[in-house]
Every structure is written in C-alpha cells, then in structure tokens.
Chain A
Amino acid sequence: MLTLQINGKSVEVDVDPDTPLLWVLRDVLGMTGTKYGCGTAECGVCTVHVDGRPVRSCSLPVGLIGPRKAIITIEGLQADPVAAAVRKAWLDIDVVQCGYCQPGQIMAAIALLKKIPNPTDEQIEAGMSGNLCRCGTYMRIRAAIRNVAAAQGATP
C-alpha cells in the first residue's frame, strides 16, 4: 500500500511503485480529468501539481512521491482563486476546442501564474510551450493568461 495526498485527502493505493501517477489517478481512482497523451512527458496533457509545481504525471512513478507531497489535479481546484480566474478567462475567451489538452493547459497556466503573477509574453511561452494542443488554441491560451494577469494586477 502506498499513501498519497491527492486534492487534500490522504489516499491509499495498492499498485506497483513503478506505476505512473497518471494511471493511478485515471484507472485506480477514477479521476479522468487528467489525460493520457504520450506517456513520455512530451505533450503535457497529464499535467498535475506536486507541491505547487507542474509535473507530468505520465512519467512520475507513484513510489517516488511519498505520503506528504501535495498532489493537486484538475478535479481539486475548488478553493483556488487563481484557478477560478484562469477558468473564467478560458470561458470568456472561448479557448477550448476539442478540449482534451485543456486540463493540462489549465494546470500549467495556474502553476505559471502562481509563480509569476504578471508574466511577460516570453515567460508565458516558457511556461506553456511544454503543453501541446492539436486544435491550435495557443493564440487564445496566451490571451487568456494575459487577461488573468491583467485582472490580478488590477486587484490590490
């Protein structure tokens, strides 16, 4: 049995320690908001937060995480004001198309904006270029992140 902290709750899972976090989330715990795209940390659709940092869950064996690291998934953002602002910007700008990569994009954007509340365009690209989107929603993701930054900057 391995103990993990997922979205504020302590969870016990009975899997081999080499099992990537992604498949524990999706197939053991039934949390399918985090997606599978490449299995090799190249596309970012599986992005979750571990202690606030964006991590590719497809390439993170659960045995390496330990019981005290805080894992946050797309399902665990209810009380997070940055997440709310990011989602609102995504809705305002109609970012999504097929939507498959968007949970990963949103997790990456939240992590970026928490680290750098008012990122430059270069910082947005550095923070987001690990996340692929085949529908080509990049223009709107950029715009949505700029919107969040502007709104946060306007709030004292």
Chain B
Amino acid sequence: MTSKRISSPALRRRQVLGGAGAFVLAAILPAGRSRGAGMLVEDATASFAPNAYIRIGSDNIVTMILPNIEMGQGIYTSSVMLMAEELGIDPQSVRIEAAPPGGGAEITGGSTSSMTEWMPLRQAGAAARTMLQQAAAARWSCAPGACVAQDGYILGPTGQRLSYGELAADAANLPVPKDVVLKTPAQFRLIGRPMHRLDSQVKVDGQAMFGIDVQVPGQKVGAVAACPVIGGHVGHVDTQAALKIRGVVAVLQIDDAVCVVADHYWAARKGLAALDVQWVEGPNATVDTQAIYRQLEGGLSSSAILADHHGDAQQAITQAHGRYSATYRQPLLAHATMEPINCTIHVRPDGCDIWTGTQVAERARDTTAEVTGLPKDRIRLHSQYIGGGFGRRLEHEYVTQAARFGRQVSHPLKIIWSREEDITRDRFRPAYLDHLEAGLDERGYITGLTHRIVGPAVVARWEPSGLGANGYDDDLSVGTVITPYTYPAYRLEFARREPPGVITAWWRGVGGTRGLFVVEGFIDELAQRAGVDPVAYRREMVRNNPRALAVLERVARESGWGTPLPPNCGRGVALQFAFGSYLATVAEIEMAGPHDVRIRRVTCAVDCGQVINPDQIAAQIEGGLIFGFSAALYNEITLEKGRVQQDNFHTWRVMRMNEAPGRIDVHLIESTESPGGIGETGTAAAAPALANAMAAVQKRRYRFLPLLSPLNQPSGHEKEQQG
C-alpha cells in the first residue's frame, strides 16, 4: 500500500492524541489472569492517562497501549521504545496492551507502522513526561524546567525524588500540553540501539496467547467447511451421522459454509468428516488456472489505463538505437500463516466479545456489528498475538463468518479452520503478466521504457475509495513508478483483469514484491544485453541518487561482488526503493543441476532512515528474504474445476531450515531521515536477487514464477508436455 492511503490513519491517531483521548476499556477477562513480561494485558485502572497510548497507575505500573498489532515484526518492542525514550522509563518494566478498535487500532500493514508511529508515540511519551514534571514542580514550588525525568522518577533541584506513580494522581489533573519538546537524536538512549524483543519471554515459554489459544469459560469449538468453489453455496445437508459423533453438539449453517460444533476440536473435525454436505458450486466450477492466465494474456494487447508517464516513451523507443522487450508472469500465492485462521466470539442479546488476531481491528468490530445488529459500542474486540500476518489478517471475512455462526448459539464459539481450509479458502496474492519494452542507446542504457501490468486492482475490493479516478491501483506503483531509477521517458499502463473463481488480496511486500521481480529482472536483462556488469549498470542508472548509490556500493563491497566463485555458482543483485527504504541485495547461489538451487549467502545493505531497533531490522530482512525465497522457488496456487489444488504443506511447500540460506548479512547505513518501512522489503528483494543469480549460473533468463517452473527451461512448454 502506498503513502496516499496510509496518511489518514496517522492523521486520526494524531487527533486522538491532540484531543487527550483518555479512554477506559472494560476489563472482561478474569482479574487473576497471569501477567508476565510481554503478556498482553487489558487494564482499565489508571490514575493518569494523558493520551491514548499511556497510563500510569499510583502503583507505579506503566501500561502502554499499542496502536499496531504484533505479528512478528517487532512493533510492540519498537513502539514501547519510542514512548519510553521520551517518558524516561525502562521499556522492560512496561505492560503492553493492544489498542481497541476506535481507540487507536487502525490498520497494521503496508510496512507503515514505524513510519506512522515515529512522531505520535514520541509525542505521547513527551506529553506524559512534561505533565509529571509539572506535577512535581507544583509540589516542590520550583520551575518545571528544573525537574528532570529519569528512570521512572522526577528529580528535583535540591535532591527531591518522586516516582511517576506518586505523581500520577496530581498529573492527571493537569491539562495536556499542546506542544512538547522531543529529544534530539544525540539525546537518544534507546532509539537506534539494539533492544531485546519484549515479547520473547512469553513466546519461548509457550505462554503467549494467540487467537487460537483463547479459552473462554463455556466455549465450544467449531470445525468449518466452506464451499470449495468460491461463489457456491450449501445445498442439502444431512446432519445425522455428524450428530452421532461423541462430543458433537450442533451443526450450524450459513449460506456458503457449515460448522460442526463440539466440546473440543477433534470431535468437531470428526463430526465434519461425517457430515454429508452437497454443495451447489455455481458458475466458478469451470474455472481452472489456464483460464486465469488466458484472461491476463488478453490484457497484453487490449486497451489500458495510463497510470503514469513522463516524456514520450513510445517515441523514444521508436527512435532508439536498439530496443528490447520481455514478458514476465507471476502466480497466485497463498499466505499459509503458521497459525491457521480462527476466531472466538460470544454473541449475546446485549453485546458481543471477539477474541482474535487481526490486522484490521476496526473492520472486524464493524462487520460483527452488521451481522449481529448490535451497536458498535457493544462489541469488544480483544486483539491477540498474531501467528503470522503477511497480509492474510488484513482480511476479516473469518470474523464475519464467526459472527454468522456465533449468533446462532448462546455459548462462546471458537471456529478453527483446518490447514486445508486455511489454504484452499485463502484470499490469494494475484497472478500478473507484465510486458516491458525499452529503447536503448548505443551503450545499451534506457532511453525510454514502457511497462504494461495486467492483473487485478486489489484495492478496488479491499478499500474501494483507494482506487484512483482512472481505475488505477497505486499499489502497482511500488517498484515501477516508485523506484531508485530515473528514466528519460516512461509510460506505465494498467490493464485491469479481475480473475474468476478466486478472491485476491494483499500479500507480504504487496506491489513491491510483484513489481521488483519484473523490473529488477528486466534491468538485469538489459545489463546482460549491454555486456555490462549488473552492479555497474545499475550504478550508472542511480548515479544521481546518493542513497541508492550508497546501498548499492555497500552491498557490492560486503558481498564480494565480482570476486571468483566455485563452479556452478553465481550472484544476482536487486536494488529497490520501497516502503520508504532503500535496499540492495546480493544472492550468491550454487546450482548443481537445473532444479537444484542452494542459496549460499545473501548480503543486504539497507538505508531505512532513522533506525529504532537495529537488530530487529536485520531480523525482518532475514525473515522477509526467506519468505520471499520460499514463494519464488516453490509456490503457485492452481485451480481445477474451481477448486484449489494445494491444501497442506506437502503441496504448498515452505522453505525448511536445510533449504534456507547458509548465511544472511544485513548492513545498515546510518541515516537521520524519517524511518522507512522494513517488514516487507526483504520479501520484495528475494525473487529478483535469486532469479538474477540463477540467470547468471544458467545463462538464461527466469521470467516466470515460481523459478523452478518448467516454463523457465529452454523451450519450456514442450518439456512440460513431455513430462
């Protein structure tokens, strides 16, 4: 997602802060619930709540309410660091709470969290600190400026010392300051230094509560099956055999799905297996993968939206010394988060509670209000740790589904999708075709570039207001329009094609993942055609872009670019500006055979602006790369007769430790620019760096994903048919 759409949540957050929106969240979980470090709490009691993000109790306990949800990206740790830096407390002492919908929780996605939190959370900490200083100054009859905040205490000019807890009640009576003074980078004690994750302890102890772990007194567990063809519905259901299974208590139906409810999940699964359901599959029952690709191929020569242009690229190509074109193809992709989709809900006549992991808390609340007919303020959503987001939990249809089943029963209901349901009923990263043509000068450099994207506009379904007036989806600009390169003339076209039989959605790296595979592959082809080293070729293209040049030079140096390699080995480079961060990546691989890829080493140079927690940037890039490599090598969702053919990890292959890179080295470039996003950058870098390395070894281009597809072999189609 691009900057246009992420600006509004940030604005709303600032309004919450400016309005001193102290709010109270009713604690509904048992009071005795254990509260270890890193455990999410729900805490309504605090005498001092200067803003939406911080509460300080007279017991000296500081609770921070975090607007972005933790799904592995380390945002709880960096959010607390930002507030604690200004407030002057030990981050390890803080209790953490997920913001409720309407109380700061907006959308966690698009690698925007650190960008949007950078100012508001520091301001929140500074406002609280200022008020505590004022409260202390009033007690001691001195100037607030003479009071120093340090490690949870305000220190007075003559050696006085009061804890934040002791000052909390006084501070609560003071007005929230309009303007606060933030620390300068030279004064930072936390920001920019490595800090251990605050959620590690509960996660290594097995105590972290994910949505699937929630246990509400009286709850039953439901196993769900939706129509295997999108758009189909439930026909005849015979519940007799299912209800005979020990532990099964009910069989529920909605228009497109059934839910067998039991005392525990295994009984529900057995009940579902015994249930006799006839599906009415509907018109999508004829869709297969080839139909989706045929539809995309039609868009290569049809009319299209002009998405972006400068100069006259077509004329530049016509008049160029040389021209070069290529078509790239990418498949549908599933998310397959390790925690399968689930949601626990308790619908009552007077209200509703939801316990789940979601990147869109507000949408989850609102859909439940719609389904149940309850007012929004009667719906409480309790955000849990997310066992993998990757864009999957930007969808909330599973909350809608849980509400539709949950309203049929009086007890709390936890629905769990089996892994098979999770993959086959996922909402997929779309398939795309891209066609690029470049005009080239005598040295082989670009004089004009035209690029046509054929595929869906994900935003049109997800957030219709985000679709441009001309029908363009900005997301497609990442890696294309948003790039470290400057083209003398450029034209981007978009032929929108919404595929039949699947619902398309966001996937880690969004437009950057799809765009960079294409553009960085194409630029590598141009370098090869020009007979220029791929790093040298890019260096020439970004010679006027110092941040891009710096990461490129750094990665070349750190990766040993150009130094000799053993036989069957090669390196590939990718350069990007995406999510506000610059990244240059070199993958070094060995290919013992055309299908045997071993990633020996990956080197990354990163300029993501001001760094909050450096080791977690490395962690995100390591993990993002592996996520991207896994999909690039192995993954493609295919359909036959409207049914998804992959359903568990034997058909949806995920990179394992023995297939992971031998090493990944991440080098950070020091910067004082505003923080850029990082959680998706590694994933976006993975496919192009790897494809370019494979091209270097095999001396042929890899224009199709997955990279091990037979389509990438010489005369691939014939080979595929010969088997």
Binding site for B on A (CB under 8 A): 15-16, 19-20, 23, 26-28, 30, 32-40, 42-43, 45, 73-75, 87, 90-91, 94-103, 106, 124-126, 128-142
Binding site for A on B (CB under 8 A): 70-74, 196-197, 199-210, 212-213, 215, 221, 246, 263-267, 270, 336-340, 385-390, 416, 418-419, 615-616, 619-620, 622-627, 630, 648-650, 654-661, 663-664
Known A96-B203, A129-B658, A134-B627; 6 more pairs at CB < 8 Å: A37-B339, A73-B206, A98-B339, A102-B203, A138-B655, A138-B660
Contact of A134 among B208, B385, B390, B619 (CB under 8 A): B390
A148 to B40, CA, bound (A): 29
Which of A36, A95, A125, A137 has most chain B Cβ within 10 Å? A36
Instruction: Give the residues in chain A near B340, CB-CB below 8 Å.
Output: 36-37
Asked if residues B339 and A100 are in contact (CB atoms below 8 Å), the reply is yes
Asked if residues A35 and B212 are in contact (CB atoms below 8 Å), the reply is yes
Minimal beta-carbon separation of B72 from chain A (angstroms): 3
Instruction: Give the residues in chain A near B661, CB-CB below 8 Å.
Output: 139
Minimal beta-carbon separation of B241 from chain A (angstroms): 15
Instruction: Give the residues in chain B near A74, CB-CB below 8 Å.
Output: 205-206
Minimal beta-carbon separation of B309 from chain A (angstroms): 37
5 closest A-B pairs by beta carbon, nearest first, are: A33-B206, A136-B626, A100-B387, A98-B72, A99-B203
Cβ contacts A to B, 26 pairs, < 8 Å: A15-B264, A15-B266, A27-B263, A27-B265, A30-B215, A32-B215, A39-B419, A40-B649, A43-B649, A43-B654, A74-B205, A87-B205, A90-B200, A96-B200, A96-B203, A97-B623, A98-B337, A98-B338, A125-B657, A129-B657, A134-B388, A137-B619, A137-B622, A138-B655, A138-B660, A141-B657
Our count of residue pairs bridging A and B at CB distance below 8 angstroms stands at 180
Instruction: Give the residues in chain B near A125, CB-CB below 8 Å.
Output: 657-658
Residue of A with least CB distance to B71: A98
Which of A40, A45, A101, A134 has most chain B Cβ within 10 Å? A134
Asked if residues A97 and B204 are in contact (CB atoms below 8 Å), the reply is no
Asked if residues A27 and B338 are in contact (CB atoms below 8 Å), the reply is no
Instruction: Give the residues in chain A near B659, CB-CB below 8 Å.
Output: 129
Instruction: Give the residues in chain B near A37, CB-CB below 8 Å.
Output: 338-340, 419
Asked if residues B215 and A136 are in contact (CB atoms below 8 Å), the reply is no
Asked if residues B388 and A135 are in contact (CB atoms below 8 Å), the reply is yes
Instruction: Give the residues in chain A near B616, CB-CB below 8 Å.
Output: 94
A94 to B622, CA, bound (A): 12
Asked if residues B656 and A129 are in contact (CB atoms below 8 Å), the reply is yes
Contact of B623 among A91, A103, A136 (CB under 8 A): A136
Asked if residues A27 and B72 are in contact (CB atoms below 8 Å), the reply is no
Minimal beta-carbon separation of B173 from chain A (angstroms): 40
A74 to B74, CA, bound (A): 23
Residue of A with least CB distance to B263: A27
Instruction: Give the residues in chain B near A136, CB-CB below 8 Å.
Output: 622-627, 630, 655, 660
Instruction: Give the residues in chain B near A106, CB-CB below 8 Å.
Output: 204
A23 to B418, CA, bound (A): 13
Asked if residues B196 and A94 are in contact (CB atoms below 8 Å), the reply is yes
Asked if residues A99 and B419 are in contact (CB atoms below 8 Å), the reply is no
A28 to B247, CA, bound (A): 12
Asked if residues A34 and B206 are in contact (CB atoms below 8 Å), the reply is yes
A20 to B212, CA, bound (A): 17
A23 to B416, CA, bound (A): 12
Instruction: Give the residues in chain A near B649, CB-CB below 8 Å.
Output: 38, 40, 42-43, 132
A27 to B342, CA, bound (A): 14
Minimal beta-carbon separation of A28 from chain B (angstroms): 6
Asked if residues A140 and B622 are in contact (CB atoms below 8 Å), the reply is yes
Contact of B626 among A26, A27, A129, A138 (CB under 8 A): A138
Asked if residues B419 and A98 are in contact (CB atoms below 8 Å), the reply is no
Contact of B654 among A34, A75, A98, A132 (CB under 8 A): A132
Asked if residues A132 and B418 are in contact (CB atoms below 8 Å), the reply is no
Given contacts A87-B204, A100-B388, contact A94 B197 (CB under 8 A): yes
Instruction: Give the residues in chain A near B338, CB-CB below 8 Å.
Output: 35, 37, 43, 45, 98, 100-101, 132-135
Minimal beta-carbon separation of B624 from chain A (angstroms): 7
A106 to B204, CA, bound (A): 7
Minimal beta-carbon separation of A46 from chain B (angstroms): 11
Residue of B with least CB distance to A102: B203
Instruction: Give the residues in chain B near A43, CB-CB below 8 Å.
Output: 338, 649, 654
Residue of A with least CB distance to B387: A100
Contact of A99 among B208, B246, B336 (CB under 8 A): B208
